[in-house]
Homo-oligomer: A and B are copies of this chain.
Amino acid sequence: MTTGVESVFAAISDPTRRAILDRLAHGPTRVTDVAAPFAMSLNAVSKHVKVLERAGLVRRARQGREHVLELDPEPLRAVAEWTSSLERYWNDRLDRLEAFFIKERSK
């Protein structure tokens, strides 16, 4: 089992799992309703849901006899921070390059 940020990146690498998260972003949803749009068995969808639960992106609550799934987008923050750190480094590099050319031109 992967842990922490690793399990989050692994969880969102799959298009079905991202689609499940998109669905849950609109509100808590019963497992059977989450599975409905997918051309796969309830069992296959449940396996994807378990991966999302282990990554901390989905919580499962019991409502009577139903299992209801709920999104927790908090772990995605680490993904957003990593992508923006790469962009930041990149922009810093471009800034230094620009400064270099301006300096060269003024010689």
Interface centre among A22, A71, A89, by most chain B C-beta atoms within 10 angstroms, is A89
Contacts of A79 in B (CB 8 A): 79, 83
Q: Take A13-B9, A18-B9 as given contacts and tell me if A80 and B84 are in contact as well, using a CB distance cutoff of 8 Å.
A: yes
Question: Is A27 interfacial (CB 8 A cutoff)?
Answer: yes
Give the interface SS of chain A, mostly helix, strand, loop or mixed: helix
In the complex, the count of this chain's copies comes to 2
Question: Is A87 interfacial (CB 8 A cutoff)?
Answer: yes
Question: Is A45 interfacial (CB 8 A cutoff)?
Answer: no
Q: Take A27-B93, A83-B80, A86-B25 as given contacts and tell me if A13 and B15 are in contact as well, using a CB distance cutoff of 8 Å.
A: no
Residue of B nearest to A10 (CB): B13
Q: Give, as a whole number of angstroms, the nearest-CB distance from A95 to chain B.
A: 13
Residue of B nearest to A93 (CB): B27
